[in-house]
Homo-oligomer: A and B are copies of this chain.
Amino acid sequence: MRSFASENISPDVVAFQFAVRGKIAIVSEEIDNAIKKAKAEGKPNPYPFEKVVKCNSGNPQLLNQKPLTFVREITSMVEYPPLTEHPELFHADAVARAKEIIKATGCNGTTGAYSPSKGLAYVRQTIARFLEERDNVPMSPEDIYLTDGASIAIKIVMQLMLSHPLHGIMIPNPQYPLYGACIQQLGGKTCHYNLNEDNYWLPDINDIKEQYEKYQNEGIKIKALVVINPGNPCGEVLPVDTIKEIIRFCNEKKICLMADEVYQENIWTDVPFNSFRKILATMEPEIAHGLELISFHSISKGFYGECGKRGGMFACTNIPEFARLMMYKIISTTLCSNVVGQVVMSIICNLPKEGDPSYPLFKQERDEILGSLKRKAEYLCDIFNKCEGMSCNRAAGAMYLFPRITLPEKFIKECHERHEDPNETYCIEMLKKTGIAVVKGSGFGQKKGTYHFRIALLPPENEIEEVGKRIQVFHNSFIQQYK
């Protein structure tokens, strides 16, 4: 039997699931290709839509969100420095920033040299200043590590902690499936605490304590607890009291707190975003200087949405030097994260300010994107709550809704007979009938016997009504069909 025979593939690799890019992404591409092929051959379109609306991934620019002009003016000059000699083409502050970045990197082909493994010093300094201003807490650039997106950062941090099948990490349920996938790839135990659908998907400290005890009684050594705030997929934003409770709990158990804060700019209600770093600094000194906290951020979300550039980072608080050296060592094996992504990370941490030449356009672009996301979150939530057998919490932040669907008993039974996941079959049906790709709730985790889907709030605003209606029509006829 050869090395890549199915029986020889690592069971940890075979076992894990990653629904966001799973069957739904593959079928979406197949459908788009079938439509293109039919068109090219002059045959009728086999589907009642022109193109799949990809609401399965938080990928704004794929759905026509325009990149910030300020960001792209700079990156184009950094790519090809002779362009800085054409100030007529760009805003003056963008030219100045591009020159600053080109100088800071210290080589001609700025983005073409490996940077130090943790990232360019200039970029880490810029991020440190941003975090200091945001949180009013000192931050050393030495505690910042740049990575190709936050996803790989999470995997690196977990790799340090998981070295035994009974090492566990507590993650929310529902979770962003990267977490479960990483833990399983690293051979650890995925441990859950619950988000409470009846309380706007907020976690409950008593449930966290209960689950912890339960896992401990099973012999599992919990190493860390993950919080996603604002929440993916559910859109909850944690109040300060909850943040404090979680900090106290992690400190008491001496476990690491992993704070995924990539949606920090995406806030839709009057619940503000508070970083764990900021709240930690307000607590008793033995906690503030004790808790091992790692905070993640990214250029992929917010109003910048530069997903394809793969820029991410993590910031360490109270992490001992030896552990940080080991983080450095893991990153160094792939040499460094991509420098364009690093540059963009520095830009989103240092955006135009009032009075800057780029400010008016920047403000217009940012406000348009954030305003539109908020309106779409409210509009779709209303529509979903009007559907029979569907209910949806409003999202306080992030980029998704996670409505609950009541699937007919008859449909569930039929799926089980066909060995199908009813939640997946529902989503694939929706995709084929409406052209809208959403991710099955079972891909994130959900209370037994409940069903959901996650929809990204990303179609252009002038299409959102159509998206809402198509889902409504599909869902209602689906329910009728199985009544």
Using a CB–CB cutoff of 8 Å, the interface residues on chain A facing chain B are: 1-6, 8-14, 16, 18, 20-22, 25, 29, 57, 59-62, 64-67, 72-73, 75-77, 79-80, 83, 86, 89, 107-117, 148-149, 151-152, 155, 159-163, 178, 181-182, 185, 223-224, 254-256, 290, 292, 300, 305-310, 319-320, 322-323, 326, 329-330, 332-341
Contact = CB atoms under 8 A, between A and B. Distances in A.
The 4 A-B residue pairs with the shortest CB-CB distance in the complex, in nearest-first order: A21-B332, A10-B163, A76-B80, A67-B109
**Max chain B C-beta neighbours (<10 A), residue from A59, A62, A80, A341:** A80
A323 B76 CA distance: 39
A335 B75 contact: no
17 contacts: A4-B161, A4-B320, A5-B323, A12-B163, A18-B333, A22-B332, A66-B109, A72-B79, A76-B83, A109-B308, A111-B309, A112-B308, A155-B333, A178-B333, A308-B338, A309-B340, A310-B335
A333 B151 contact: yes
B161 A10 contact: yes
B338 A338 contact: yes
A178 B335 CA distance: 10
A6 B61 contact: no
Contacts of A326: 9, 13-14
Given A10-B159, A12-B163, A111-B340, 11 more contacts: A3-B256, A29-B116, A57-B114, A64-B108, A67-B108, A111-B309, A148-B148, A152-B334, A185-B333, A309-B340, A310-B338
A375 B118 CA distance: 34
A347 to B, nearest CB: 12
A61 B305 contact: no
Contact of A256 (B2, B18, B89, B292): B2
Given A10-B160, A10-B161, A2 B292 contact: yes
B108 A160 contact: no
Contact of A76 (B79, B114, B116, B181): B79
A204 to B, nearest CB: 23
A313 to B, nearest CB: 14
B308 A111 contact: yes
Contacts of A110: 308
Contacts of A9: 160-161, 322-323, 326
